[in-house]
Structure 1
Amino acid sequence: MSSPILPPEPTALESAKAALERIILNPAYHDVLAILKAARNGAVYGAKVRFPHALVMVFLFRPGTLAEKTSLVIRATRTHAQNLARFAVIYKLVCYVLKNWGASPGKEGKYDTMLAGLVGGYAVFGGRGKRSGKISSVNQQIVVYVFARVILALARLAVKPASADGFAGGLPFLSRPDVSELISYYAWPVFAATSWGAVMHIFRYHPEELQPSLRSSMTYIYQQSDTWDGLRNFMWHNK
């Protein structure tokens, strides 16, 4: 009678993988591991967003050699990735501390996320360069991007009518259904027109106050389009 065929013994690599999976799937470690994953996700997202943007903006609108442009792209990508990863770690860590050692241990407080965002924003995006003393252009872009989205969200909240789920509505009068509908219909074209009118005026008379990549792209489109000396730099080459 033949002996039963036994499954092969797991290799050292398979055993290590199984042990690691037991750790990462253990609920007791979930909150701490979530901080590590947030750092990973922040770095990956920052690199994916910044690299193509920096590649286009630097190679189209920045002067310099190939090596200088490549260095600028790498530096901007690294800064964006590092800062989003750092912010994610600080934010999740502060939330974790407040949840477990705050006013109500084991329960998330109403303003925990705001406080964590304030701490992370100050620590990561509120500083200046150690050598230059200037605010990083990458950090400026990130903060201005977030600020614009916050203003748009607050504008929507201001005219949002009360709902059945308990939301009390936005500002008095503005959140009345008839007024809210009227404002929502006309607000965007007014906002778009005002934004473009303001930026074109600033670009014309105070271009140094605009963010560098915006200023470079506007110079390319609106100033350098005024000059040419032949068909070559009218159709195919800008200069």
Structure 2
Amino acid sequence: MSDLLLYKKLVDALRHGVLSTAMGLRNGLHYGVKVRAPHALVMTLLFKSGSPIASNLASIVKMTFVHARNLGAFVLLYKALLALGRIAHAAAGRPLTTPAGTPAEAWHALLAGWIGGMLVWSKYSSVNEQIALYLLSRVVVSFVKMLAVRGVAPFSSVNYGQVYPYLAAGVWAVVMWLYEAYPKTLQPSLESSMRYLYADTNTWPSGPASFLPSAASAATLAAAVYLQRADLPKLWDLSAR
């Protein structure tokens, strides 16, 4: 490879790396706000409705900021490390066979993810833990699917649709057992949600009024009935989406 061609490849890789990293930071911040703000608002309304409004707003803003900050920082680091990998790849005179903005080698993604994970997500917090647990279930399912695609037995002999009913039943069986036997081992927000569903329903503090649906539930039911009025039985079909 001529020096001029190598120089051009390096400049192109550097330019695209800088721009793609900046765009990654922007999108990471935006997506963090878009995902966390509604979730934090709903959880606050459900479980902290009795707290002062100012305290609730501060909590929502803090959780949203932390999520957006961490996600933006991770995307920036990840994209920057991939860009450095591409620049090093080109500097070594090796051809770049993957699209700009992607890892020059598959293992670059693994290494960049590890470094970014250690620098950004490894400190324990409720937000970081929620994101890690969110990813964990999806990583496990994707890993099993990858084994099936690669022909690894027994995963290659069944499809996801065949296995899913057992996955769903098993997950619900285990989580209910853990909740009843070892509730404090569950992730705090999950334990709080399950307590609201399964423990708080053992008493009726307002007497008969306790059984009335909430305004949100009533509005949702009324809207669903109206929208599905042409085929109401379908509303109660648990197999329907």
Residue 139 of structure 1 corresponds to which residue in structure 2?
A: 128
Aligned length: 192
Are 1:100 and 1:106, in contact at CA under 8 Å, matched by a contact in 2? Answer: no
Q: 1:96 aligns with which of 73, 79, 83?
A: 83
Deviations 1:170-198 (A, max 9, x none): 314542xxx224xx343111111111111
Residue 75 of structure 1 corresponds to which residue in structure 2?
A: 62
Are 1:99 and 1:106, in contact at CA under 8 Å, matched by a contact in 2? Answer: no
Higher RCO (CA < 8 A, seq sep 6+): 2
> Structure 2: where are the runs of 5+ without partners?
1-11, 97-103, 215-241
Cα deviation, residue 104, structure 1: 6.0
Q: 1:231 aligns with which of 199, 208, 225?
A: 208
Residue 123, structure 1, aligned to residue 119, structure 2: yes
Distance, in Å, in 1 between the alignment partners of 2:14 and 2:55 is 48
Q: 2:147 aligns with which of 155, 158, 162?
A: 158
AA in 2 matched with 1:44: H
Are 2:14 and 2:83, in contact at CA under 8 Å, matched by a contact in 1? Answer: no
Residue 211, structure 1, aligned to residue 187, structure 2: yes
Residue 180, structure 1, aligned to residue 158, structure 2: yes
Cα deviation, residue 222, structure 1: 1.0
Cα deviation, residue 136, structure 1: 0.6
AA in 2 matched with 1:170: G
* CA distance 1:90–1:105, change in 2 (3 Å): farther
> Structure 1: where are the runs of 5+ without partners?
1-25, 128-134, 161-168
Cα deviation, residue 29, structure 1: 2.6
Cα deviation, residue 140, structure 1: 0.6
Q: Percent identity?
A: 35
Residue 58, structure 1, aligned to residue 10, structure 2: no
The runs of at least 4 aligned residues of structure 1 exceeding 3 Å deviation read: 102-107
Distance, in Å, in 2 between the alignment partners of 1:126 and 1:236 is 41
Cα deviation, residue 49, structure 1: 0.4
Residue 132 of structure 1 corresponds to which residue in structure 2?
A: none
Indicate the structure with greater helix content: 2
Are 1:54 and 1:76, in contact at CA under 8 Å, matched by a contact in 2? Answer: yes
Are 2:14 and 2:87, in contact at CA under 8 Å, matched by a contact in 1? Answer: no
- Classify the secondary structure of the residue corresponding to 2:139: helix
Are 1:125 and 1:139, in contact at CA under 8 Å, matched by a contact in 2? Answer: yes
Distance, in Å, in 2 between the alignment partners of 1:67 and 1:126 is 30
Cα deviation, residue 46, structure 1: 0.6
When normalised by structure 1's length, the TM-score is 0.74
Residue 112, structure 1, aligned to residue 108, structure 2: yes
Residue 220, structure 1, aligned to residue 196, structure 2: yes
Cα deviation, residue 106, structure 1: 6.2
Deviations 1:71-129 (A, max 9, x none): 111111011100100000110111111111256666312311111111101111012xx
